[in-house]
């Protein structure tokens, strides 16, 4: 006997939870299938614990940059306290709170591995091996996330490497750590672990860190990593890995390097390998391509829109807030189509994830932080925009030099010269994370520069940088004839 629901959600990470919540609030019955923890990677092994591991170091360094406060904080980070706070933030790796939330919301949870078994049918294999078949009246949404992408390095499988899971949930800080990769996970984890007194070496294949961001962001983060004591090697290819007793040894084009642990921070791969996609004619292990209503672009949806994908699994933007945004849109559109409500697919409407293309914000919690939204200069030019780039040193803003002695930072806005609106913004500096939402509003709202002059930042805050950037861009003035 199968159980029937309007909507079946595969994967209870932040994206899946939001689809179920919105669809259920619109009147659909929902089942959520989760093989591990309700809350997903984000809550237990990614965003939340990683930011908890970073926070003490950031707070300490911020205090050390203020005369009068620095005298009071002469010791380093207390690792026991950091891990205790991390455990509190992740509920000790238990998901009781989120399970209660699902129950309270009236959404049924099925624990186990979910696999599609043809159209609108999902088999759930529980830990004890028993199976339950679920059938969807209207839709199935795949929100199974991603896992660490494992490079094909001979010997790697046998060394017992760390992924983000071990790096964020460990109870013991190793004496030394090799990190493979130069992206966001690598930079954040290097910043956290070096603050714990661990000897950190980053092995970067290319020439830069944070290569998808504006160049100056990677350069400033690199400078700080080096100052914090991280050993960063560029242009490294790893040819073989082996474990020698307590140490992992990597044989590389720059010679052999060893450490107590090795962290793979080499990007993500879609968790769509063992979810039954071939049963509906789709390949395993690929990101699910979707349209702006999060409907999977595949023949199986022709004439009967039933398969959706949100969050990391569709590869659009590997970020929690973007997955949740997609989840809200998909939950709404699934309910609307099920209830026969007309669905407008016009940009910026209720049922589409338009921001995925032009207004994705991200904060990298290194020290300095990097906060960016929209297009980089390079992306904007590639898309054919005629742009003007305006840069401003953040340390020259009154709010910044009051915040921190010797504040260094940089801000950039990328302006669409045709439409006189912002296309992108990047801020690098201490405590810039909260500033990026203002730029996100300006980009999504397509606010003209002439109107932004009326958005008055409070004095003395770091937000005054927006005024400085406008001044640097220039305002048509009145001249005596």
Ligand X SMILES: Cc1cc2nc3c(=O)[nH]c(=O)nc-3n(C[C@H](O)[C@H](O)[C@H](O)COP(=O)(O)OP(=O)(O)OC[C@H]3O[C@@H](n4cnc5c(N)ncnc54)[C@H](O)[C@@H]3O)c2cc1C
Binding site for ligand X (CB under 6 A): 10-16, 33-37, 40-42, 46-47, 50-51, 113-114, 143-146, 164, 168, 185, 271, 275, 311-313, 318-321, 323
Nearer to ligand X among residue 12 and residue 140 (C-beta): 12
Window 364-383: contact mask with ligand NAD (x via CB under 6 A)? xx------------------
Question: Is 267 or 457 the residue whose CB approaches ligand X more closely?
Answer: 267
> From the CB of 448, what's the least distance to ligand X, in Å?
29
**Number of other CB atoms surrounding residue 438 within 10 Å:** 18
Tell me which of ligand X, ligand NAD, none is bound by residue 181, counting a contact when its beta carbon lies within the kind-specific cut-off of 5 to 8 angstroms. Answer: ligand NAD
Helix (H) or strand (E) holding 382: helix 377-382
Cα torsion 40, 147, 207, 374: sign: negative
The interface region with ligand NAD, picked from 252-260, 350-358, 360-368, 455-463 by CB under 6 A, is 360-368
* 20 touches ligand NAD (CB under 6 A): no
Buried (b) or exposed (e) across 126-151, using 16+ Cβ within 10 A? eeeeeebebbbebbbbbbbbbbbeee
- Tell me if 292 is assigned to a ligand binding site: no
For 65-183, where are the alpha helices, taking DSSP H only?
Answer: 79-89, 96-105, 164-169
Instruction: At 367, give phi and psi (nearest 5°).
Output: -130, 100
**Residue with Cβ nearer ligand X (415 or 435):** 435
DSSP 290: B
Nearer CB in complex with ligand X: 185/221: 185
CB of 391 to ligand NAD, least distance (A): 23
Which part of the chain contacts ligand NAD (CB under 6 A), choosing from 102-110, 176-184, 303-311, 397-405?
Answer: 176-184
As a dihedral over the C-alpha atoms of residue 306, residue 17, residue 309, residue 442, rounded to 10 degrees, the angle is 120
Instruction: Tell me the closest approach of the beta carbon of residue 225 to ligand NAD, in angstroms.
Output: 13
DSSP assignments along 22-36, one per residue: HHHHTT--EEEEESS
Rounded distance between C-alpha atoms, residue 207 and residue 191, angstroms: 19
Rounded-to-integer distance, Cα 424 and Cα 417, Å:
12
Smaller CB distance to ligand NAD: residue 52 or 185?
185
Site string for ligand NAD, 275-314 (x = CB under 6 A): ----------------------------------------
Q: How far is the CB of 236 from ligand X (least distance, A)?
A: 21
| The entry of ligand NAD, ligand X, none that residue 311 binds, CB within 5 to 8 Å by partner kind | ligand X
139 annotated to a ligand binding site: no
Cβ neighbours for 28, distance < 8 A, ≥ 6 positions apart: 5, 6, 7, 138, 334, 335, 338
39 carries a ligand binding annotation: no
Determine if residue 183 is labeled as part of a ligand binding site.
yes
Closest approach, Cβ 185 to ligand X, in A, equals 5
Shortest CB 369 distance to ligand NAD, Å: 9
Q: Which is nearer to ligand X, 14 or 182 (CB)?
A: 14
Q: How far apart are CA 211 and CA 267, in angstroms?
A: 12
Q: Is the dihedral of CA 8, 11, 16, 21 positive or negative?
A: positive
d(CA 50, CA 170) in angstroms, rounded, equals 11
Residue 112 assigned ligand-binding role: no
Nearer to ligand X, 327 or 399 (CB): 327
Q: Is residue 315 involved in binding ligand NAD (CB under 6 A)?
A: no
14 binds ligand NAD (CB under 6 A): no
Closest CB to ligand NAD among 253 and 350? 253
The phi-psi region of residue 93 (left if phi > 0; otherwise alpha if psi is between -120 and 50; otherwise beta) is left
- Burial of 25 by CB count in 10 Å (0-12 exposed, 13-18 middle, 19+ buried)? middle
Please report, as residue ranges, which positions from 233 to 272 form the binding site for ligand NAD (by CB under 6 A). Answer: 238, 265-268
User: Is position 188 annotated in a ligand binding site?
Assistant: yes
CB 326 within 8 A of CB 15: yes
36 binds, among ligand NAD, ligand X, none (CB under 5 to 8 A by kind): ligand X
Size of the site for ligand NAD (CB under 6 A): 22
Residues 262, 147, 436, 213, CA torsion sign: positive
**Contact predicate 207/218, CB 8 Å:** no
User: Has 122 been labeled as part of a binding site?
Assistant: no
Which residues ranging from 186 to 215 are in contact with ligand NAD (CB under 6 A)?
186, 188, 205-206
Segment lying near ligand NAD (by CB under 6 A), choices 23-31, 358-366, 403-411, 412-420: 358-366
Annotated binding site for NAD(+): 181-188, 267
Binding site as annotated, residues for FAD:
51, 114, 312
């Amino acid at each position: 006997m199968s159980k029937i629901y309007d909507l079946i959600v595969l994967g209870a990470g932040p994206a899946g939870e939001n689809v179920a919540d919105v669809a259920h609030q619109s009147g659909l019955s929902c089942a959520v299938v989760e093989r591990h923890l309700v809350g997903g990677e984000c809550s237990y092994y990614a965003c939340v614990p990683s930011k908890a591991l970073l926070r003490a170091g950031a707070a300490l360094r911020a205090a050390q940059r203020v005369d009068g406060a620095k005298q009071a904080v002469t010791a380093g980070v207390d690792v026991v306290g950091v891990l205790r706070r991390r455990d509190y933030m992740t509920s000790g790796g238990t998901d009781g709170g989120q399970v209660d939330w699902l129950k309270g919301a009236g959404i049924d949870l099925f624990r186990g591995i979910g696999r599609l078994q043809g159209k609108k049918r999902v088999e759930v294999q529980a830990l004890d091996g028993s199976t339950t078949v679920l059938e969807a009246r209207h839709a199935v949404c795949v929100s199974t996330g991603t896992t660490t992408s494992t490079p094909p390095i001979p010997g790697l499988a046998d060394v017992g490497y760390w992924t983000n899971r071990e790096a964020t949930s460990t109870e013991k800080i190793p004496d030394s750590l090799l990190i493979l990769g130069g992206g966001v996970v690598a930079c954040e984890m290097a910043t956290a672990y070096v603050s714990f007194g661990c000897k950190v070496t980053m092995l970067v294949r290319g020439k830069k860190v944070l290569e998808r961001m504006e160049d100056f962001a990677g350069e400033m983060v690199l400078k700080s990593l080096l100052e914090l004591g991280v050993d960063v090697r560029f242009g490294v290819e790893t040819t073989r890995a082996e474990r020698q007793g307590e140490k992992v040894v990597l044989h590389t084009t720059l010679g052999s390097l060893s450490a107590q642990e090795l962290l793979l921070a080499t990007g993500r791969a879609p968790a769509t390998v063992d979810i039954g996609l071939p049963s509906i004619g789709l390949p395993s292990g690929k990101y699910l391509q979707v349209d702006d209503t999060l409907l999977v672009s595949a023949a199986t949806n022709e004439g009967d829109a039933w398969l959706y994908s949100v969050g990391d699994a569709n590869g659009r933007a590997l970020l929690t807030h973007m997955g949740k945004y997609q989840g809200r849109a998909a939950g709404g559109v699934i309910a609307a189509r099920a209830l026969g409500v007309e669905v407008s697919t016009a940009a910026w409407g209720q049922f589409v994830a338009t921001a995925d293309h032009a207004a994705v914000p991200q904060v990298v919690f290194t020290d300095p932080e990097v906060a960016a939204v929209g297009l980089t200069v390079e992306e904007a030019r590639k898309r054919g925009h005629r742009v003007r780039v305006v840069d401003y040193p953040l340390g020259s803003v009154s709010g910044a030099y009051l915040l921190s002695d010797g504040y260094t930072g940089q801000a950039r806005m990328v302006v669409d010269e045709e439409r006189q609106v912002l296309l992108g913004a990047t801020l690098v500096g201490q405590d810039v994370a909260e500033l990026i939402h203002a730029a996100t509003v300006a980009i999504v709202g397509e606010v003209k520069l002439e109107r932004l002059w009326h958005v008055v930042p409070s004095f003395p805050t770091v937000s005054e940088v927006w005024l400085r950037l406008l001044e640097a861009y220039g305002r048509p003035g009145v001249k005596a004839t």
